Amino acid sequence: MPRTPRLLAPFEGFRGLAALSVCLYHLHHVPGLSPLTARLPGFFGSGWVFVDVFFVLSGWVIAHVYADRIAEGSATLRAFFAARVARLWPLHMVVLLVWFAIAPVLFGAAGAGAYAGCLPQLATLSFTWGPLACAAPVPPAWSISAEMVAYLAFPLLVAAGLLRSMRGALVLIAVGVGGYLAMQALWGGFHVYDGRAPLRALSGFFIGAGLWRCLRDAPLADRTASWGQWIAAAGLIGGIALNLPPLFLLGASVLLIVGVAAGHGPLAWFLSTRPLLTLGRLSFGLYLWHWFAIMALARLGDAATLPVALIAVVVVCVVADLSYRAVEMPARHALRRGLSGSGAPKRAMVE
């Protein structure tokens, strides 16, 4: 596996922690753990906000890897979309097939027949796209469908020149923030994962892409970045402890991303350690496979104690590692070669 470029290493670790946080957040679906989850409403009530951290990180990383290459013509749109499809589609389809094969027996879940009307959308990752929206059997997959809209929009941002200047970057950030505020005003929050989900993905993605451009033109001094990391981390931890609104938690997370972006400081170092980088490498698998563990724990009832839940999380990590080696990487290489006709940028390996 290619080494993660230094600039993106803290993001890889942060993505791993965000994926693990989403896995743990979904423990609130397990009745046997309700005495625990009820005591931590700041996390088990608002932990879904870490999905938005994915969107912001994705916007930053995609802009870092592709903005200049697409603008200069050294990366074609065909290669870009081939890399995106190869990143998301294979594991999504494998998880979907495994779910239909075992979930009706193990969890009493509906079989493929119950989703017949949604199968085309599930196969094309369009199941959150406005009027095409339909229920996915593995609910966490909604975010990859929504993120595909951001990928489709990215070349338009490049063509419009919004990533070529500080002014364009500020416009992107303003649009992203405006999207979150609009969701808050219209729907009482941004915890949406139906046909409105692409707006959520675009908002986070625009913020991340805009911040990448701003920090590239005006990077933070090492001392400022280090202090910013501590302040943002304290705000995030304090916000969870005090059960502050999700918008506050997202804001603190974005500031933490900005703080660690330069790769300097103690938290950037921590996020770049081998265990966190490994967690980041497995983040996509963790995110999709953990729903099987959540359903299994829910079926256990009161027998689903905290130690059992922690064992389940470890098992999910093992499954994610196996699927990364047996599914994600082989399928990604094959699809990228077949769809693009040439290799995607090596840096795309960290996306």
**pLDDT tens-place string over residues 185-216:** 999 999 999 999 999 999 999 999 999 999 98
Higher pLDDT, 337 or 285: 285
Q: What is the pTM of this model?
A: 0.93
Q: Tell me which residue has tokens 């993120």.
A: 147
Q: What is the pLDDT of residue 195?
A: 97
Q: Give the span between the Cα atoms of 288 and 23, in whole angstroms.
A: 9
Rg of the chain on CA atoms, in Å: 20
The mean pLDDT of 31-57, rounded to a whole number, is 96
Q: Give the span between the Cα atoms of 328 and 128, in whole angstroms.
A: 23
Q: What is the pLDDT of residue 341?
A: 63
Query: Residue 112 CA to chain centroid, in angstroms?
Result: 26
The mean pLDDT of 30-56, rounded to a whole number, is 96
Considering the chain, what is the average pLDDT of its residues? 92
∠ CA(119), CA(327), CA(201), 5° rounding? 55
Structure tokens at 108: 């009493």
Q: Tell me which residue has tokens 């990366």.
A: 75
Q: What is the pLDDT of residue 220?
A: 85
Within 179-274, strands assigned E span none
- Check if the beta carbon of residue 55 is closer than 8 Å to that of residue 211: no
84, 309, 296, 321: which is closest to 205 by C-alpha? Answer: 84
Q: Give the span between the Cα atoms of 104 and 135, in whole angstroms.
A: 16
**Is residue 327 pLDDT above 80, yes or no?**
yes
Q: Tell me how crowded residue 35 is: count the other CB atoms within 10 A of its CB.
A: 8
φ, ψ dihedrals at 107, nearest 5°: -115, 0
Q: What is the pLDDT of residue 336?
A: 78
Q: What is the pLDDT of residue 351?
A: 53
pLDDT band at 223 (very low <50, low <70, confident <90, very high): confident
Q: How many residues does the chain have?
A: 351
Q: Give the span between the Cα atoms of 275 and 335, in whole angstroms.
A: 28
174, 183, 180, 182: which is closest to 210 by C-alpha? Answer: 174
Give Cα separations from 349 to 124, 151, 280, 336, 344 (angstroms): 22, 16, 12, 12, 9
Give Cα separations from 285 to 20, 60, 223, 297, 322 (angstroms): 11, 21, 35, 18, 9
Give Cα separations from 133 to 19, 31, 201, 246 (angstroms): 24, 29, 15, 25
- State the DSSP code for 143: H
Q: Tell me how crowded residue 217 is: count the other CB atoms within 10 A of its CB.
A: 10
The mean pLDDT of 266-274, rounded to a whole number, is 93
Q: What is the pLDDT of residue 1?
A: 35
- Check if the beta carbon of residue 4 is closer than 8 Å to that of residue 283: no
